[in-house]
Amino acid sequence: MVQVYLVFTTNNFPWLTIIVVFPIAAGSLIFFLPHRGNKVIRGYTIYICVLELLLTTYAFCYHFRLDDPLIQLAEGYKWINFFDFDWRLGIDGLSVGPILLTGFITTLATLAARPVTRNSRLFHFLMLAMYSGQIGSFSSRDLLLFFIMWELELIPVYLLLCMWGGKKRLYSATKFILYTAGGSVFLLIGVLGIGLYGSNEPTLNLETLANQSYPVALEIIFYIGFLIAFAVKSPIIPFHTWLPDTHGEAHYSTCMLLAGILLKMGAYGLVRINMELLPHAHSIFSPWFMIVGTMQIIYAASASPGQRNLKKRIAYSSISHMGFIIIGIGSITDTGLNGAILQIISHGFISAALFFLAGTSYDRIRLAYLDEMGGLAIPIPKIFTLFSILSMSSLALPGMSGFIAELIVFLGIITSQKFLLMTKILITFVMAIGMILTPIYSLSMLRQMFYGYKLLNVPNSDFFDSGPRELFVLISILLPVIGIGIYPDFVLSLAVDKVEAIISNFFL
Amino acid sequence: MDHTYQYSWIIPFVPLPVPMLIGVGLLLFPTATKNLRRMWAFPSILLLSIVMIFSVYLSIQQINETSIYQSVWSWTINNDFSFEFGYFIDPLTSIMLILITTVGILVLVYSDNYMSHDQGYLRFFAYMSFFNTSMLGLVTSSNFIQIYIFWELVGMCSYLLIGFWFTRPLAASACQKAFVTNRVGDFGLLLGILGLYWITGSFEFRDLFEIFNILIYNNAVNFFFVTLCAFLLFAGAVAKSAQFPLHVWLPDAMEGPTPISALIHAATMVAAGIFLVARLLPLFIVIPYIMNLISLIGIITVFLGATLALAQKDIKRGLAYSTMSQLGYMMLALGMGSYRAALFHLITHAYSKALLFLGSGSIIHSMEAIVGYSPDKSQNMVLMGGLRKHVPITKTAFLLGTLSLCGIPPLACFWSKDEILNDSWLYSPIFAIIAFITAGLTAFYMFRIYLLTFEGHLNLCFQNYSGKKRNYFYSLSLWGKEEPKSIKKDLCLVTLLTMNNNEKTSFFLKKTHRIASNITNTPFITIFPFGATKTFVYPHESDNTMLFVMLVLVLFPLFVGAIGIPFNQEGIDLDILSKLLTPSINLLHQNSNHFFDWYEVLKNATLSVSITYFGLFIAYFLYKPFYSSLQNLNILNLFAKRGPKRIFWDKMINFLYDWSYNRAYIDAFYTRYLTEGIRALAELIYLFDRRVIDGITNGVGITNFFVGEGLKYLGGSRISFYLLLYLISVLVLLISCFFFFNFFSF
């Protein structure tokens, strides 16, 4: 007994392996559950999700120290001896936030997916498989493993999209898989290139790779390879067109995962690989990041009011908000990178909640286009309230997390020493124009949906306001949004030391 | 007395529990919360009263000691940036605190009655209390980040409250317009804050001012950049205080319930811009360009607001333009550097305008019972008139507010406006002339509103024959371009019939006037009384709560001027306001020897008061109901007889009313160029996105498809074909090699 206890408390216990493998392993048991309707499957999945979240939280609470910028909870097992490929996991301050976000959002998305009844066995298995894939890619310390995990979560998304999507789901799913698989090719090229460079043996360990230096031209080539892969995922313009289509068609629980976590994997990859491994190339590319990020904010924010489809409008808004992350990454300052990480977390919450709201209101009125809606505030006041609050947080109202993140990114540009004053002024100015455009589309979305008075010719016009389940999902997303907005150190403290370590590479 | 100051951080948080509790209650336990609805008004009023007592105490402290207190603690701890939270108590803050809490309490009490039958009663109180919280936070904040946070929160509350009746499409677009316009200002504010942070490295006001002054003194900063930052900061104030280019949201904001028009869009939130400029005056004052710009914007707004207010049909819109004009006075005063006058006018105007708005709310409440709940009807001055007899208490209050706003001597606004007008002579004669003319215009439009609303007879009853009259005063000048819409005739009857059914017996006992008895004695029109059953309902006075609030508020315009009037006691020529503001004025290096000469005052006051009276009399002549006296008829004829002059006069009036009715064409301009522009841009970008960027993707996909199909077609799985292809390619290769080598051999 004592030994068992010791195993649990010492560092040797493979926490991360369990955390990564548990959902998919437990998920594959779904197929062996007795045929007793969807209720069992749903309950089982939610149970697994919550258990996983608790497990993650426990492990991070007791075995992770925030003040240490090094890799913790590290574990490595030889997998393929032939080319030094290890099952190597480990987390640091950078990945704690996204992993916890993954656990949180996936649990809520599973809860949100309760209305799904068609083929729910497969659906829930795919959700759990995505859970594993996402946590795996956030916590892998081996390049090839990162790539494998990266690919692992593509398949569930593809299936979720092409089986439970809307009318044009096949087109969207194909587009999605082609885009991301196309990006993955470049990722693979980059991974192999970095791994095979230099020494006789392939090195895929991120720690060793972080200290390696390359000739500038080669570094730039690697950088571009990774950049394309992550740019598709983030998305960065002009690789963004899969996103509105995918979000427009996917079921809203899939949308929550896509917008909440998958997009963040691109940003995470940019920080983790492009910034950490290839600092010289990153400092060459950073002005382009700033320019592209600024353009993206304006471009997507002005494309958004032209959308008739509610979900597409939210999708464009999330492209626009990803621009802040790109700018934060491009600014190469402590402040900017902190802001980008905060924005990763904050946007994860906000966009997931917005997609959930869009989905639930779609469930009720069965109308996808904004100009057909109107006057919904009377039949569904609670959804109206929460939609208003979350739109406000999406347009960076102070007191909510979005504002802090954007403000810190702004400060990051202002304090950046790399750029000239004039460029900084210009970029800040143009970014701030995005601040004017954001309320235009999000408030007009609110106005078109809820304000006014209109008799809808809906088949079931006596629909209900949101029930306890939906309210629970929304409030549990709203609480962290407000919490971070009031006390941002919750999230900032996770990654501060790691960010400092990364940035110090640039000023050697 | 540090104890008091130490605990003053609590000020903004005192009213906070109410909106939180109501919000949580409405989301989670809607029925239980709604059952307790009237109970919720009590804690919000109570908590605000606590704040009021506290802030009165604070300002007494300020008067006695004139100290500035600041306390700060950190919010985020990071190596590179740290945000801090703090509070900053100085005379400006304490004045604003008292203003917000007193008006806030009165408006809360008022709206308890005003909103009592509204479904969104609880929501209303939650928004109002949240607004109070954020406004109190705004005035006590000690750094720029905090100001920005509360600035936006206040804007959000305004958005929510304008869109309170969300089923009205007009309200829906008005609230969006307000938010977006304010966001344009916030854009400037944020950029200005960031720019100043870049220059000075601090967000704290006092550090920032100090560093800034040193930098300016040493000429260590790029002057252009500094001016730009200051300009951007000022843009925030311009949007919030509805100054000239960004004023378009304020009149539309009147779609909200009337109590919030009194609290937010007349007394407190729109004054936030003035507050910000006053707070940052140490910064602005070292940049003369900005000071000139501030006064220029101020004077443009003063004049524009007044001209726009001339021909509004809607009573609240008229008041809104008047608010805009008065805010312009304050901005003008700040631009001239007369800090004290601006604040004085801020206080007096806030109380007078709150009184006017509450009065108009009471009128609307009375009218709603007759004409229905559409703001087109219940706020339309076309349909009012003669309310003097029916709502006497409201009339008294409204008249006092009007007189005060016009600047009639014993009332509050006289003192403050006179001070501004005096200072404007010293600043620039042109500005002074415009300001004086506007004083006359103010008197004109305020009295116009008063006369149309309260004098004469209830116009609603004349709707039937308004079309027959060919009098140009009525058909043209009063309502501008648009002819008054004829009200449905059965409107009165419907009310009547329902009433007749229920309370026919008590109906006549209630001293309700009958239409016939009033109207037959008019000179122009002889009215054939309807049948005996066709009696007409007249508006009633509002409930006691509302009247009580108005009566309390009447005291303020009567006496609040006293804080700025110097009393000669023991040889010290100091009034309360000056005493309070001494440190701030000294801080601004002003000519603080503000010596007060009664003779000087009298001289200047005579001019302004005479202009005011002039405006007042013109209004009286033009809008005195023509059918009420024979004497008036003579004047009418007098006007009518001047043939050639009349055409010009007509044109003038026509132009003026068109100008005013179309809101100086600014709204149309914005709609045409900005809104449509953004819409077109959105369409264009979406088209680009779909056709070009997505087109490339789809094109690649389709090309791949065709290439694949083509290959499939080519490779028909016949060996002979493959062999042929192979041979051809080998041949091509050989030939090309041959040519290639030949090429090199030469």
| Mean pLDDT on B528-534 | 40
Residue B585, pLDDT above cutoff 70: no
Query: Is pLDDT at B521 greater than 50 in this prediction?
Result: no
State whether residue B153 sits within 8 Å of chain A by CB.
yes
User: How much is the mean pLDDT over chain A?
Assistant: 87
Task: Name which of B176-180, B599-603, B659-663 the model is least confident about.
Answer: B599-603
Contacts of A171 in chain B (CB under 8 A): none
> For residue A327, what pLDDT is reported?
93
> Can you tell me the distance from the alpha carbon of A345 to that of A485, in angstroms, rounded to the nearest whole number?
12
Cα–Cα separations (whole angstroms), residue B121 to B107, B108, B117: 14, 11, 8
Q: Is residue A336 part of a domain?
A: yes
Q: Do B686 and A377 touch (CB under 8 A)?
A: no
Distance from CA of B701 to the nearest CA of A (A): 9
Q: How confident is the model at residue B533 (pLDDT cuts 50, 70, 90)?
A: very low
Q: Which of B146, B153, B184, B198 to probe by mutation at the A interface, max A CB count within 10 Å?
A: B198
Give B450 to chain A, closest Cα distance, Å.
Answer: 33
* Contact between chains at A447 and B172 (C-beta distance less than 8 A): yes
Minimum distance, in Å, between the CA of residue B684 and any CA atom of chain A: 8
Q: At residue A473, what is the residue type?
A: V
Q: Which residues of A touch B75 (CB under 8 A)?
A: 487
Identify which has the larger pLDDT, B641 or A160.
A160
Which tens digit of pLDDT belongs to each residue from B137-163? 999 988 898 999 999 999 999 999 999
- Give the burial class of B115: count Cβ atoms within 10 A of its Cβ; 0-12 exposed, 13-18 middle, 19 or more buried: buried
Q: Looking at B310-391, list the stretches that DSSP marks H as alpha helix, in order from N- to C-terminal side.
A: 315-336, 339-371, 375-378, 387-390
The answer to whether the Cβ–Cβ distance between B80 and A429 falls below 8 Å is: no
On chain A, the residues whose CB falls within 8 A of the CB of B169 are 451-453
Q: Check residue B530 and give its pLDDT.
A: 42
DSSP secondary structure string for all residues of B265-312: IIISTTHHHHHHHHHTHHHHTT-HHHHHHHHHHHHHHHHHHHHHHTT-
Residue B693 sits at the chain A interface (C-beta within 8 Å): yes
On whether any CB of chain A is under 8 Å from the CB of B19, the answer is no
Contact B180 A299 (CB under 8 A): no
pLDDT score at B584: 56
pLDDT at B628 over 80: no
Residue B477 token pair: 């000048």
- Asked if residue B491 has pLDDT above 70, the reply is no
> What is residue A8's predicted lDDT score, i.e. its pLDDT?
53
- Which range of residues forms the domain containing residue A495? 288-502
pLDDT digits (tens, 9 = 90+) for B2-61: 667 777 788 888 889 888 988 888 888 888 878 877 788 888 899 999 999 988 888 888
What confidence category does residue B235 fall into, taking pLDDT thresholds of 50, 70 and 90? very high
- Report the number of distinct structural domains present in chain A: 1
In a domain, A77, yes or no: no
Spatial contact of A226 and A190, defined as CB atoms under 8 Å apart: yes
> What are B359-384's pLDDT values in tens digits?
998 888 888 877 777 777 778 777 77
Contact A303 B689 (CB under 8 A): yes
Question: A409 or B521, which is more confident?
Answer: A409
Q: What is the pLDDT of residue B180?
A: 92
What CA–CA distance (Å, rounded) separates B617 from B622?
8
**pLDDT per position as a tens digit, A322-371:** 999 999 999 888 889 999 999 999 999 999 999 999 999 888 888 888 88
Instruction: Identify the pLDDT of residue B520.
Output: 36
CB contact under 8 A, A435 and B183: yes
ipTM reported for the complex surpasses 0.85: yes
Nearest-Cα distance to chain B for A397, in Å, is 7
B chain contacts of residue A307, beta-carbon cutoff 8 Å = 686
Q: What is the pLDDT of residue B413?
A: 86
Element containing residue A53 per DSSP (H, E): helix A38-63
| E strands present in A115-170 | none
**Burial class of residue B500, CB neighbours in 10 A (0-12, 13-18, 19+):** middle
Over the stretch A289-303, which tens digit does the pLDDT of each residue have? 999 999 999 999 999
Does the pLDDT value for residue B188 go beyond 70? yes
Q: Which of B79, B678, B693 sits opposite A440 (nearest CB)?
A: B678
With an 8 Å Cβ cutoff, are B160 and A388 in contact?
yes
Chain A contacts in chain B segment 659-678 (CB below 8 A) = 678
The pLDDT confidence band at residue B618, using thresholds 50, 70 and 90, is confident
Query: B379-417 burial, b for 16+ CB within 10 Å, e for fewer?
Result: bbbbbbbbbbebbebbbbbbbbbbbbbbbbeebbbbbbb
Mean pLDDT across B609-633: 71
Res B649: pLDDT: 77
Q: Which residues of A touch B191 (CB under 8 A)?
A: 428-429, 432
Q: Which of A136, A138, A111, A134 is nearest to A124 (CA)?
A: A111
Distance CA A271, CA A386 (A): 33
Kindly determine whether residue B27 and residue A410, on different chains, have CB atoms separated by under 8 Å: no
User: What is the value of pTM for the model shown?
Assistant: 0.87
What is the band of B504 on the pLDDT scale with cuts at 50, 70, 90?
Answer: very low
Model confidence band, residue A461 (pLDDT cutoffs 50, 70, 90)? low
Instruction: Report the distance separating Cα B485 and Cα B463, nearest Å.
Output: 9
**Cα–chain-centroid distance for residue A261?**
2
Comparing CB atoms, the residue among A242, A392, A450 nearest residue B156 is: A392
In angstroms, the separation between the Cα of residue A413 and the nearest Cα of chain B is 10
CB neighbour burial string for B432-460, b if at least 16 within 10 angstroms, e if fewer: bebbbebbbbbbbbbbbbbbbbbbbbbbb
Least reliable range by pLDDT among A418-427, B123-132, B477-486, B661-670:
B477-486
Comparing alpha-carbon positions, the chain B residue that sits nearest to A400 is B149
What are the pLDDT digits (tens) for B96-148? 999 999 999 999 999 888 888 888 888 899 999 999 999 999 999 888 989 99
Nearest CA of chain B to the CA of A338: how many Å? Answer: 10
**Per the domain annotation, does A413 fall within a domain?**
yes
Rounded CA separation B302/B322 (Å): 9
The CA distance from A302 to the nearest CA of chain B, in Å, is 5
A317 in any annotated domain: yes
* Cβ–Cβ gap A489/B77 under 8 Å: yes
- Nearest CB among B152, B159, B686 relative to A307 is that of B686
pLDDT reported for residue B513: 40
pLDDT at B726: 86
CB interface of B with A, residues 695-714, below 8 Å: 697, 701
CB atoms within 10 A of CB A259: 33
**What pLDDT shows up at residue A462?**
59
| pLDDT score of B623 more than 80 | no
Residues of A within 8 A of B85 (CB-CB) are: none
Contact pairs from chain A to chain B, CB under 8 Å: 137
Residue B482: what pLDDT?
36
How far A13 CA sits from the closest chain B CA (Å)?
Answer: 33
Please name the member of B76, B681, B693 whose beta carbon is closest to the beta carbon of A492.
Answer: B76
Q: What are phi and psi of A230, to 5 degrees?
A: -75, -30
Residues A319-323: what's their mean pLDDT? 93
Q: Is B211 on the interface with A (CB under 8 A)?
A: no
Residue B249 CA from chain centroid, whole number: 7
pLDDT tens profile B242-253: 898 888 999 889
Within a domain: residue A484? Answer: yes
Per-residue pLDDT, B670: 85
- Per-residue pLDDT, B645: 64
Asked if B180's CB is within 8 angstroms of A241's CB, the reply is: no
Q: List, for residues B668-715, the tens digit of each pLDDT value.
A: 888 888 888 888 888 898 888 888 888 888 888 889 888 988 877 776
Report the chain B residue with the minimal C-alpha distance to residue A182: B697
**Residue A109 domain-assigned (yes or no):** no
Min distance A254 CA to chain B CA atoms (Å): 22
pLDDT for position B499: 39
Residue B640: predicted pLDDT: 53
More confident residue, B238 or B571: B238
Question: Residue A457 has what pLDDT?
Answer: 61
User: Given this model, what pLDDT does residue A317 score?
Assistant: 92
How many other C-beta atoms lie within 10 A of the C-beta of residue A148? 16
Give the gap in angstroms from C-alpha B81 to the nearest C-alpha of chain A.
7
Residue A93 falls inside a structural domain: no
CA B687/CA B175 separation, integer angstroms? 29
CB-CB under 8 Å, A444 with B176: yes
Distance of alpha carbon A30 from alpha carbon A35, whole angstroms? 10
- A interface test, pick of B176, B197, B255 with most A CB neighbours within 10 Å: B176
Q: What is the pLDDT of residue B583?
A: 55
**Contact with chain A for residue B73, Cβ under 8 A:** no
What is the C-alpha separation between B124 and A381, in angstroms, rounded? Answer: 14
User: Which pLDDT value is given to residue A107?
Assistant: 94
Tokens of B280: 């940052």
> Whose CA is closest to B662, among B670, B171, B296?
B670
Looking at CA atoms only, how far is residue B227 from chain A in angstroms? 14
The pLDDT tens digits of the residues spanning A117-139 come to 888 899 999 999 999 999 999 99
For B694, the closest of A241, A388, A414 (CB atoms) is: A241
User: Left (φ > 0), alpha (ψ -120 to 50) or beta: where does B228 sit?
Assistant: alpha
Tell me, yes or no, whether A107 lies in a domain. Answer: no
* Contact by Cβ (8 Å): B283, B230: yes
Nearest Cα of chain B lies from the Cα of A16 at a distance, in angstroms, of 29
Q: What amino acid is encoded at A113 in this protein?
A: A
- Of all residues in chain B, the one with the smallest CA distance to A472 is B28
Please name the member of B152, B180, B194 whose beta carbon is closest to the beta carbon of A410: B194
Which positions in chain B touch A303 (Cβ < 8 Å)?
682, 685-686, 689
Confidence of residue A5 (pLDDT cuts 50, 70, 90): low
Please check whether residue B388 is in contact with residue B454, taking contact to mean a CB–CB distance below 8 angstroms.
yes
| 3 state SS of A171 | helix
Q: Does B190 reach chain A within 8 Å, measured CB to CB?
A: yes
- The whole-chain average pLDDT of chain B stands at 78
Tens-place pLDDT, residues A69-105: 788 888 888 888 877 788 889 888 889 999 999 999 9
